[in-house]
Amino acid sequence: MSRHIYQHPEPFVFENGKELVDLQISYEVFGELNTDRSNVIWVCHALTANANVLDWWPGLFGANDLFNPNDYYIVCANVIGSAYGSSNPLSINPATGQPYYLSFPEFTVKDLVNAHQLLAAHLDINQLEVLIGGSLGGQQALEWAASNTIPINQLIVVGTNAVHSPWGIAFNESQRLAITADRTFYANHPDGGKKGLKVARSIALLSYRNYITYDHTQRDEDDNKVNGYKAASYQNYQGEKLVKRYNAYSYFYLTKAMDSHNLARGRASLEAALNGISCPTLVLAVNTDVLFPPAEQRFIAQHIPNATYQEVESSYGHDGFLIETKKLTAIIHNFLKNKKAYINELV
């Protein structure tokens, strides 16, 4: 593992026209580039993840896993707005000497992707063997593939969509309402909005899991209990867990970025944007995902010309894309193997 900071030497212009004069991108790399730079696996992370993909996607990425640093050069960059080192609302505004807080420019998924492309150019990476991402990471991967700014040999997206749904936006807005109801969010303090963030995470968790998940893991067996339920304790625990590692400002901005995701913006249509993705693509859905229902992934696969669709069975809902790594490994391994066999046939 190697953690780096890339300081972009020029002002970064956002999709809305605003600028950031000192864009900083925090990223981690695992493994070594081969001589022809053809072994790059680029991972786009989800909402509150960091750049250490070996930490949050074990079973898929690791020394004994499908994507092994001994074989690949694995890159994962923290997105703009992330609490883990890239430019974000708690970064220092050089004009004031104070953190940006709510004066940080709003950004979109397109902006996240443009920053990825800048980093790829800085690393002298001119092709991606595999571009992979789930959830918000999948939105980034699709946008990058649709933008056609770098050759991608194989695209893998999991639990994502071509445009963020009204359902997903409603969940995100409810979380932001919780954050902004905490008056400390407007206090311009690094700990601002933490109580609201706890509530927001509790709301989010309901969309990451489902009825079946809670019934299996949080059901109380004591029929006489009238308080202190496992499910209630679990919601509090998960909210506190995020508060200890994240900040409300990054969360607020990144949910807005997720809402902005729409491959049709600036293009003829969703279908046209997807139809323009020419690389072999694996689209994976989790059958019990209520936040990104399988119908959204089927739509993606139907409109990318060279796409394969697979559904992963899981009781964990949206979080299944992080948990069911054995199933993901088997499907992705077959996809990559078949792609390699096809290339060999052409040769």
From 45, 116, 164, 318, the catalytic residue? 318
Q: Which two tokens stand for residue 39?
A: 């072994």
Q: Determine whether 36 is an active site residue.
A: no
**Taking CA 328 as the corner, what is the angle to CA 317 and CA 42, rounded to the nearest 5 degrees?**
105
CA 119 – CA 126 distance, rounded (Å): 11
From 289, 303, 314, 315, the catalytic residue? 289
From 82, 135, 147, 250, the catalytic residue? 135
**Residue 159: DSSP 8-state:** S
- β-strand partners of 287: none
Q: Determine whether 318 is an active site residue.
A: yes
Q: Which two tokens stand for residue 160?
A: 């994502």
Residue 18 CB contacts under 8 Å (≥ 6 apart), including other chains: 105, 106
- β-strand partners of 156: 132, 282
Residue 80 vs residues 116, 122, 160: alpha-carbon distances, Å? 10, 16, 19
**Taking CA 304 as the corner, what is the angle to CA 110 and CA 347, rounded to the nearest 5 degrees?**
110
CA 347 – CA 334 distance, rounded (Å): 20
Conformational region of residue 2, where left means phi above 0, alpha means psi within -120 to 50, and beta covers everything else:
beta
- Tell me which residue of 257, 296, 294, 292 sits closest to 274, measured CA to CA: 296
Q: Determine whether 116 is an active site residue.
A: no
Catalytic positions:
135, 289, 318
